[in-house]
Amino acid sequence: MGVDSDGQALAPRHVGIIMDGNGRWAEREGHERTYGHAHGRLPVRESIAGAIEAGVEVLTLYAFSTENWKRPQGEVDMLMELLAESLAEYSEELQEQGVALRTVGDLSRLPGSLQEGILRAVRETEGGRNLTLVVALNYGGRDEIVMAARELARACQAGRLEASAIDEGMFARALYTRGLPDVELMIRTSGEQRLSNFLLWQCAYAEFLFLPIFWPDFRKGDFLGAVEEFKRRNRRFGGV
């Protein structure tokens, strides 16, 4: 673990969250799956508050994956509407909290009105300095890596780049997350223990925490508890 000048354990610079279990939570409560998605907004607010309190620099939320298009069309439509509503609702709140919004993923497949709302919210919050909130939309880790490889291959083909010059740093700069630190703590709710194609490159040395609660039940205390667990771990990065 890292420590500051006073010997106190440092919070992770970048936390990722796989917000899992909305549908199962709703079914447990006797409702349709979409009911769970609607109740996933409060945990987002709680996580943002926890990240700011803990001194986390970047919080990345897995909101919609490239695989989520396989879900029933009604559920997909509801998720798109919910995202649009949340952006409109959160923008002013994020500005007040000093949170800068950023997205990762291929936005081109999203509804045009949602794309416009995303770009507007990103512009309106760009001055935030307390936290960078990254929302993964139509995102897949493998797709991101392939995209970066193609970009570098085109540069080589055009004569702008020598293949021998490509290193990890250059490859990282071709990813959606360019300029952001690697993930240090990855949290997944619902008890499932897998990455589900999320930030594969960026999680090379991440610590993982799998919580047995569904996302709608996640609160700031759970986030802060995860940060404290991270601080207790000994990160050796292949050393001893």
Q: Which residues are catalytic?
A: 20, 68
| Secondary structure element (H or E) that encloses residue 3, with its range | none
* Secondary structure of residue 179 in the 3-state scheme: coil
* Secondary structure of residue 176 in the 3-state scheme: coil
Which residue, 126, 136, 169, 171, is CA-closest to 153? 171
Query: Which two structure tokens, joined as six digits, stand for 152?
Result: 């570098």
Please answer whether residues 26 and 202 qualify as being in contact, where contact means their C-beta atoms are separated by less than 8 angstroms: no
Give the list of residues 6+ apart from residue 102 with CB closer than 8 angstroms, or none. Answer: 122, 132, 133, 134, 135
Give the list of residues 6+ apart from residue 96 with CB closer than 8 angstroms, or none. Answer: none
